[in-house]
Amino acid sequence: MKEISITSSFTVYESLAELPTEIQDLMNEAVEVRKKAYAPYSQFRVGAALLLDNGKTILGSNQENAAYPSGLCAERTAIFYAGSAYPDAKILKMAITAASDTNQTTAPIPPCGSCRQSIAEYEIRQETPIEIYFMGEIGEVYKSSSLKNLLPFMFDKKFL
């Protein structure tokens, strides 16, 4: 038997104001689209903004449905639209923000497992890392240099 150790590393920004201007703008777009989320059941709103290598910004918010699990997370809403509308574009950066209607979220909220797997598919397909920035409603912003940092044992087509 042997043991392996896997380490993840994140850059932590104390606030939105510490981010590079380009990322502040991207996160502000994620904040605005978060406000448009359809979240009548969870009352938990998520916004995502993607920066593509063609200069386009793609937005997504979570969309819930009474027939669980028919809804879709903000990250997947944005990434699937990017893949559909701009299939040859690479996703360079992703900004994610989450807020609750019932209490203030101050901890950075990372993508859920389903979103991590979906982002992994695109990162592997484009063969370049996707920088991921995530935060709550206020407070620190975490930066991951790639999805692989968040999901070190990615499942992809090589296993099929």
What is the full per-residue pLDDT of the chain (160 aa) written as tens digits? 999 999 999 999 999 999 999 999 999 999 999 999 999 999 999 999 999 999 999 999 999 999 988 899 999 999 999 999 999 999 999 999 999 999 999 999 999 999 999 999 999 999 999 999 999 999 999 999 999 999 988 888 888 8
**Cα–Cα separations (whole angstroms), residue 35 to 30, 43, 45, 112, 129:** 9, 11, 7, 19, 28
Alpha-carbon span 99 to 46, nearest angstrom: 7
Give me the helix-helix angle, 21-34 and 74-85, nearest 10°: 110
**Does 64 show up as a binding residue in the annotation?**
yes
pTM of the model: 0.95
CATH of domain 11-150: 3.40.140.10
**Does 38 show up as a binding residue in the annotation?**
no
**Does 104 show up as a binding residue in the annotation?**
no
Q: Residue 59 in contact with residue 78, Cβ under 8 Å? A: yes
Active site residues: 75
Q: Residue 103 in contact with residue 141, Cβ under 8 Å? A: no
